[in-house]
């Protein structure tokens, strides 16, 4: 963990280095991924089954790729009632927030007589990638699938690798609750290829979302353009802004909740009180002694953790905007005052009783958020990811008479004669069928 003080002469250099420490070279898997995608595109199901046998130690036939309704029912029956209830509670809250997010169509007629507007429509089919094994988070299934459902996507196909054939009951329960239509027990670049290009068994989708390992990320990169993808997530981070009125242990737990995700995660405390900074740092060390994921959390805290002491909250705002954190907690008496100065953050958690973990599970807004400073230009997953806009223009001869001539001038200036003619010939023609 690094201690920084905005009053120090070295602050600027230290802060810059803090912003850049986690820039990592992703593994170069272009060539193997490109071979897998080409094989899936050419041989379809056969290639998918071959790779699944090789990578997931699972012998599959095309007819057995899809997880059946009976398997899902049997798996869901194993989930403790308490967990199913929590899942349903979370799902309902996530649905409601995303329904509130749905945009409205828009149109207006202007004084030149043209009617202009835009109309939102859902994608036809979305593919949801869910990692296998320990990285299979049921909460992520809800967060990826429900916005697509709320947006009105009629077909949701999910791929989840089941190494050795083992299914995750809670993941299947989440998929069922979220209304996923098809679930396939395949993973890796071969699953991304199957979703993008389609096989005899799996119809192609229009967009693929969901996290995955380096192979999955590279496969998404390579199929992008053929289908849409979500952004490729990097290591994630939290900034906690807290004054000395807070319980240091609660702040420490919030920092560790981020750190326990991943050795590359970054947790940063910004405070105005040096003594409080010390108490939080001590509390982190104390909690680490008993935490089940202490190995991961302490590596993250050691390598990327930071405590920054500022002279005041507007200084904090300017640091937050430079960090553009994925998660921002503001544990102050008046969190709104500081939040009003924040321009770049994926999601904000305001007040002393709103830890980031609330947003991970039950808050309602999406937990798939822009990581690694990309909140400067990107947003969290939302219904917008599963909708697209068609703009439209409607006009009669009179409207064309008003706006057309300027179009002719510009088309000619750009050397596009047919463009100019398509307007001017309409203005000249006596053949008015309107």
Q: Given the rule CB under 8 A, which of 9-17, 56-64, 67-75, 404-412 is the region that contacts a copy of itself?
A: 404-412
Smallest distance from a copy of itself to CB 24, Å: 11
Q: Is 360 annotated as a binding residue?
A: yes
Q: Given the rule CB under 8 A, which of 58-66, 98-106, 189-197, 271-279 is the region that contacts a copy of itself?
A: 98-106
Count of residues interacting with a copy of itself (CB under 8 A)? 129
Catalytic residue among 327, 329, 344, 367: 327
Q: Is 431 a catalytic residue?
A: no
Nearest to 387 by CA among 3, 60, 123: 123
Buried b (16+ CB within 10 A) or exposed e, 204-235: bbbbbbbbbbebbbbbbebbeeebbbbbbbbb
Among 36, 297, 310, 317, binds a copy of itself (CB under 8 A): 297
Tally Cβ neighbours within 10 Å of residue 374. 18
Largest CA distance in the chain: 87
CB 309, CB 280: distance < 8 Å: no
The answer to whether 90 contacts a copy of itself (rule: CB under 8 A) is yes
Give whichever of 8 and 107 is closer to a copy of itself, judged by the CB atom. 107
Among 20, 134, 200, 289, binds a copy of itself (CB under 8 A): 134
Phi and psi at residue 200, to the nearest 5°: -60, -35
The answer to whether 353 contacts a copy of itself (rule: CB under 8 A) is yes
**Which residues neighbour 204 within 8 Å (Cβ) at sequence distance 6 or greater?**
125, 195, 196, 197, 198, 227
The answer to whether 105 contacts a copy of itself (rule: CB under 8 A) is no
Phi and psi at residue 340, to the nearest 5°: -60, -25
Take residue 73 and report the two structure tokens written for it. Answer: 């029912």
Smallest distance from a copy of itself to CB 37, Å: 14
User: What is the C-alpha to C-alpha distance for residues 190 and 50, in angstroms, rounded to an integer?
Assistant: 9
Q: Given the rule CB under 8 A, which of 2-10, 116-124, 186-194, 304-312 is the region that contacts a copy of itself?
A: 116-124
Q: Given the rule CB under 8 A, which of 14-22, 31-39, 64-72, 381-389 is the region that contacts a copy of itself?
A: 381-389
The answer to whether 27 contacts a copy of itself (rule: CB under 8 A) is no
- Residue 400's Cβ-count burial label (10 Å; 0-12, 13-18, 19+) is middle
Q: Is 98 a catalytic residue?
A: no
The answer to whether 68 contacts a copy of itself (rule: CB under 8 A) is no
Q: Kindly identify the residues of this chain, within the stretch 170-229, that bind a copy of itself according to CB under 8 A.
A: 170, 206-207, 225, 227-228
Nearest to 112 by CA among 429, 391, 404: 404
The answer to whether 361 contacts a copy of itself (rule: CB under 8 A) is yes
DSSP string, 224-270: BTTBEE-PPP---EEEEEE-TTS-HHHHHHHHHHHHTT-TT-EEEEE
Among 116, 203, 214, 299, binds a copy of itself (CB under 8 A): 116
Q: Kindly identify the residues of this chain, within the stretch 230-259, that bind a copy of itself according to CB under 8 A.
A: 231-232, 234, 245-247, 249-250, 253-254, 256-257, 259
Nearest to 176 by CA among 271, 315, 76: 76
Pairing relation of β-strands 115-122 and 387-394?
Answer: antiparallel
Smallest distance from a copy of itself to CB 5, Å: 25
What are the residue numbers of the active site? 326-327
- Sequence ranges of the binding site for Zn(2+): 258, 261, 360, 419
């Amino acid at each position: 963990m690094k201690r920084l003080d905005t009053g120090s002469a070295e602050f600027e250099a230290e802060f810059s280095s803090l912003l850049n420490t986690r820039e990592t070279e992703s593994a170069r898997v272009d060539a193997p991924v490109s071979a897998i995608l080409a094989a899936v595109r050419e041989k379809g199901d056969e290639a998918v089954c071959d790779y699944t046998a090789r990578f997931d130690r699972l012998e599959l036939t095309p007819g057995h790729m899809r997880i059946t309704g009976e398997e899902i029912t049997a798996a869901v029956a194993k989930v403790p009632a308490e967990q199913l209830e929590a899942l349903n509670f979370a799902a309902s809250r996530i649905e409601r927030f995303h329904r509130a997010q749905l945009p409205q169509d828009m149109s207006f007629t202007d004084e030149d007589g043209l009617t202009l507007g835009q109309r939102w429509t859902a994608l036809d089919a979305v593919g949801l990638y869910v990692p296998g094994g320990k990285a299979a988070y049921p909460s992520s299934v809800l967060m990826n699938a429900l916005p697509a459902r709320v947006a009105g996507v009629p077909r949701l196909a999910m791929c989840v690798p089941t190494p050795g054939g083992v299914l995750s009951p809670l993941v299947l329960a989440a998929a069922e609750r979220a209304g996923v239509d098809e679930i396939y027990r395949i993973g890796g670049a071969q699953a991304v290829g199957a979703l993008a290009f389609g096989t005899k068994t799996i119809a192609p989708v229009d967009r693929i979302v969901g996290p995955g390992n380096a192979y999955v990320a590279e496969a998404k990169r390579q199929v992008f353009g053929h289908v849409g993808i979500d952004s490729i997530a990097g290591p994630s981070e939290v900034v906690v802004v807290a004054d000395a009125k807070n319980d240091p242990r609660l702040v420490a737990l919030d920092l560790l909740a981020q750190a326990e995700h991943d050795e590359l995660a970054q947790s940063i405390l910004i405070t105005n009180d040096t003594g409080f900074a010390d108490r939080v740092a001590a509390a982190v060390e104390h909690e680490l002694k008993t935490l089940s994921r202490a190995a991961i959390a302490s590596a993250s805290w050691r390598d990327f953790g930071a405590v920054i002491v500022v002279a005041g909250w507007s200084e904090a705002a300017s640091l937050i905007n430079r960090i553009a954190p994925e998660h921002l907690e503001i544990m102050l008496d008046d969190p709104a005052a500081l939040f009003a100065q924040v321009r770049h953050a994926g999601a904000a958690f305001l007040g002393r009783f709103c830890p980031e973990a609330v947003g991970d599970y039950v808050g309602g807004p999406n937990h798939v958020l822009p990581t690694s400073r990309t909140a400067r230009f990107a947003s969290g997953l939302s219904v917008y990811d599963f909708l697209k806009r068609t703009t439209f223009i409607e006009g009669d001869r009179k409207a064309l008479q008003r706006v057309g001539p300027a179009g002719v001038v510009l088309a000619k200036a750009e050397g596009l004669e047919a463009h100019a003619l398509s307007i001017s010939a309409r203005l000249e023609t006596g053949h008015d069928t309107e």
